[in-house]
Structure 1
Amino acid sequence: MMVLKASFDQRRHFEAATEERLASSSTTRNTSTTKTTLTTVLGWSFGLKALAVMVLFTLFLVVLPLVLPPLPPPPPLLLFVPVLIMSVLLLLAFAPSKLPPDAVVYCC
């Protein structure tokens, strides 16, 4: 019964924090139109070098298959690697959690 009471307290704390966050964002938001950049919307920014490297890798992925000759098929044993990876991921997905069944996980 103690764990159930704690989860209700956590939910109350989470709801109060959410209401405070919404109230503070609505009071600080300007009603005029603001300019939003792509980095503001996505929440990240890349440097010019990192962006150039990503564009270069993209071009390699597009051009190299057209230029290089076709490769021979891999050995049959290597074809089971994706199957092995998928089976491990399925086992992890359906593995029981170590948290109690009524635990509430929240951020901030």
Structure 2
Amino acid sequence: MVDQGSGADIIYPNLFKGLNLKLEDLIAYDSPLISFEGKAVVQKGQIRLPVQSGKEVVNVDFIVVDVYSPYMAIMARPWLHTLGDVSSTLHVKVKFPSGDQIEELIGSQFVAR
């Protein structure tokens, strides 16, 4: 999920386990994190991972949380700004410059619902 309003890139348990990451791979992260429901979320730590978007690869600092979510990750302002992305939640698209062209990531309206 791309969330233009969030200041933190988040990884949820399914992706953390799917990437075969271990708790010892994490570094400490102690800043408060508030969920969509307005409740404090206990984070497991932080990890820097490479993320490929089209041809571009950028390192992203993710906060790892251990709560249920229908999403595997939330890509937020830090990732958007690093790539120079422009996102549209209405169109479920992200566009960003890559070399001398514009790349486009297209999501699914059906899956987003």
Q: Which has the higher contact order (CA 8 A, sep 6+)?
A: 1
Of structures 1 and 2, the larger Rg is shown by 1
Going by fraction, where is helix more abundant, 1 or 2?
A: 1
Going by fraction, where is strand more abundant, 1 or 2?
A: 2
- Fold match, TM over 0.5? no
TM-score for the superposition, normalised by structure 2 = 0.15
